[in-house]
Amino acid sequence: MADMSGALLLRHGIVRPEQLAEAQALKQRDGGSFGECLVRIGAIEEEDLVSFYHKRLMIPRVTDAKLLIVSPKVLGLVTADMAAEFRVVPVEVDAEGTITLAMSDPTNNHAVDEVAFFADRYVVRAVGTESAIRRAIETHYGVRFTSPRASDRLKAKLPAPEAAKATEKKPAEITRKGTRPVSSATPPLAPQPEPAKPSLESLDKQVVLLTRVKRSEETPLPCRCRRPTTTRPSMRTKRSPSRSCSPSPKSRSTSVVTRCRASASSCRPAAQRAQDARVA
């Protein structure tokens, strides 16, 4: 990816920060790969860029002649769209099925992952020149690039983003006769007078007023009222001694004797009862 390759080149002092910013701006305007844009602005040469990747990343280098001689079976492992997007060309396949992939930017991990997933094989990175890989893609896959080549050097340098913003023309301001031109800048605010600081006497008065408590008959202070105490009737009440309805023992014995006499007189025969009546 451009960010990884740019950071790597910047860390080792191959390019300067302003050259990276210019290459990024050129890529957004004209398209193409990040390496092509670096070569176009004159930040680095193609051979120097390939040698840097070859030595620093310790990956093999593919010659320009080898890129033009590739079997169709190997080329079928990568589609034309994928080859044009990532600027890669499969060069060969070993006995174990590992693909040797020639890349213009070997720091692009996303391109390696996509090719390995699509081909379902292991991928070994290799590096080639920008112009040779572009020519191989156009020859084998029939793709025509619309972006400028690396050999098309940029004649005029692109302005820096900050300088481009500063040189933007402002719309002309319309003024009438007898009126002042309208300025885009907002007028400065008039200085406001500072509030007067309170004196010590006024502060003492405020403290005294705050500490006083108003106590008068018109506004009596609230007093705490006692809550009325209500006594609940106890659930357990003493029962009053109730009079017994049962008869006393004396009256009980009298009634028993009377009943016995009545029953005895009813049991006597009629002749005896008549004799008793005569005697009486």
Give domain status of residue 171, yes or no. no
Give domain status of residue 38, yes or no. yes
Q: In the β-sheet with 99-103, what is the strand arrangement from edge to edge?
A: 88-93, 99-103, 123-127
Domain of residue 24, residue span: 2-164
In the chain the first and final C-alpha atoms are separated, in Å, by 154
pTM (two decimals): 0.55
Query: Which two three-digit tokens encode residue 62?
Result: 């593919």
Residue 34: pLDDT band (50, 70, 90) is confident
Region class of 103: left (phi > 0), else alpha (psi between -120 and 50), else beta: beta
Give domain status of residue 269, yes or no. no
Residue 247: pLDDT band (50, 70, 90) is low
At residue 174, the pLDDT reads 37
Give domain status of residue 253, yes or no. no
Q: What's the length of the chain?
A: 280
Query: What's the pLDDT tens digit per position in 58-75?
Result: 999 999 999 999 999 999
Under a CB-based contact definition with an 8 Å cutoff, are residues 8 and 56 in contact?
Answer: yes
Look at strands 88-93 and 99-103 and give their pairing. antiparallel
At residue 92, the pLDDT reads 94
Give domain status of residue 23, yes or no. yes
Q: Under DSSP, is residue 266 helix (H, G, I), strand (E, B) or coil?
A: helix
φ, ψ dihedrals at 176, nearest 5°: -105, 165
Under a CB-based contact definition with an 8 Å cutoff, are residues 61 and 52 in contact?
Answer: no
Query: What's the pLDDT tens digit per position in 113-137?
Result: 999 999 999 999 999 999 999 999 9
* CATH number for 78: 3.30.300.160
In 10 A of CB 80, how many CB atoms?
13
Q: Under DSSP, is residue 18 helix (H, G, I), strand (E, B) or coil?
A: helix
Under a CB-based contact definition with an 8 Å cutoff, are residues 87 and 71 in contact?
Answer: no
Virtual CA dihedral for 213, 214, 217, 218, nearest 10 degrees?
Answer: -150
Cα angle vertex 194, ends 193, 199, to 5°?
130
Give domain status of residue 14, yes or no. yes
Handedness of CA 254, 256, 259, 263 (dihedral sign): negative
Number of structural domains (the chain) is 1
Nearest to 70 by CA among 99, 32, 97: 99
Q: Under DSSP, is residue 92 helix (H, G, I), strand (E, B) or coil?
A: strand
Distance CA 255, CA 258 (A): 5
Query: What's the pLDDT tens digit per position in 150-204?
Result: 777 766 565 555 544 444 444 444 344 444 444 555 556 666 766 666 677 776 6
